[in-house]
Amino acid sequence: MMRIISLCFLMCFGVAGCANSGGLEKAPREIEIVQLYASSICSGQAQSSGVILIEEPQAYALLEQSLAGRFLNDAGRRLPVVDFNQDIVLVLTMGQQISSGYTLELSHEPIHFRGDTLLLSVLWREPASEMMTAQILTSPCLVLQLGRGLYRKIKVIDQDGHVRGLVGEL
């Protein structure tokens, strides 16, 4: 049974622990991952970090409306069309930040598996404490399209092994 998680519901996790690298498996088959959108200012997104799972077109349309309020429509751009029979969409958010210098990116080898869990590796970048940054509210996000697969959970892990979000029982 597919669960639909609306954009208003966000599973928020801070630093939940370190990932154990033992038992990692490469993808048994290629799971395509496509970056649909990335920005340091994602209007309408959550105050805290987390992962939002989108499994159906209506929720994707709401996401596009949320992002379009500030940036997508200004440039005449739209999010790419997604076939939800074959793909899902993940929205990764860093939450609201008080300065510039925060970014989210995919790592070079973003997908591994541990049992029925897809481990998604990201680069979670924060400015150094001594770095001078613009004092502006930001809310970095990364919108990804993932092929459906034989995984039941998705765990987002940063470059330091910290769990940044979890989506369970797809």
pLDDT averages per 10-residue partition of the chain, 170 residues: 30 32 54 90 73 95 80 67 96 87 89 93 88 83 93 95 89
pLDDT confidence of residue 144: 96
pLDDT confidence of residue 15: 28
Which residues fall within 8 angstroms of residue 125, CB to CB, at 6 or more apart?
101, 102, 103, 104, 105
Q: CA 64, CA 166: separation in Å to the nearest integer?
A: 22
Q: CA 53, CA 75: separation in Å to the nearest integer?
A: 26
Q: Is 24 helix (H, G, I), strand (E, B) or coil?
A: coil
pLDDT confidence of residue 25: 54
The structure tokens listed for 14 are 């801070």
Which pTM was predicted?
0.76
Q: Is 156 helix (H, G, I), strand (E, B) or coil?
A: strand
In degrees and rounded to multiples of 5, residue 65 shows phi and psi of -60, -40
pLDDT confidence of residue 156: 96
Q: Is 154 helix (H, G, I), strand (E, B) or coil?
A: strand
**DSSP string for 51-101:** EEEE-SHHHHHHHHHHHIIIIIGGGT--PPP--TTTEEEEEEE---BSSS-
Q: Tell how far CA 62 is from the center of its chain.
A: 16
